[in-house]
Structure 1
Amino acid sequence: MARPSKYSAEFRSGAIALWRASAGRRTYRDVAADLNVTPDTLRTWVRNADDRPVASGASQDSEAGLARLRAENARLAKAGKEWQPEREILRRAAAYFAREMK
């Protein structure tokens, strides 16, 4: 049986958020030194947070939102294709009037 962590879940999530906020600018070693933990500990916390599965309720909500966005994207793409002839007419009219203005 693993021994309980001496760091609270709140501290770990704060450390992960701090590293993610400074990712690219600071190394694990720099952030870990500020928090008085080892770089390997911080790296493990971040890796475990990335591997954590999404809760089923949140997954269903995100799936429903994703399906809604895909449907809206398809609708907008279809609407864009329907307006193609009108846009071509307007483009040609603008070119015609631009030549007459010269």
Structure 2
Amino acid sequence: MRLITLALAALLLLIQYPLWLGKGGWLRVADLESQVAVAQKKNDELKSRNAKLDSEVRDLKDGTGAVEERARFELSMIKQNEIYIQILGKGQAQPQPQAAAATPNP
């Protein structure tokens, strides 16, 4: 009787091995599912970045508003007959006047 019990226990362990540690086992499936979740998260981030870049490209191609906004904020450009005012906070250094902004001679 004892021999049969040991044989059945050994067979049970042999059957369980592929279920847990085999190629299609639960541990492998859980690992692959976590890898898929990470890849999907990265894909979602890249899709949102691509959508943002696509809309920015369309704005730059179609309208002048986006080009004007970039010129103002990135290149500090102003329109003709427009006054530029900069407000400094406490502790900020006062910018040096440019040569073009010098007072004209009377």
Q: TM-score range by the shorter chain?
A: 0.3 to 0.5
Give me the TM-score of the superposition, normalised by structure 2.
Answer: 0.33
- Higher alpha-carbon Rg: 2
The structure with higher relative contact order (CA 8 Å, sep 6+) is 1
Higher helix share: 1
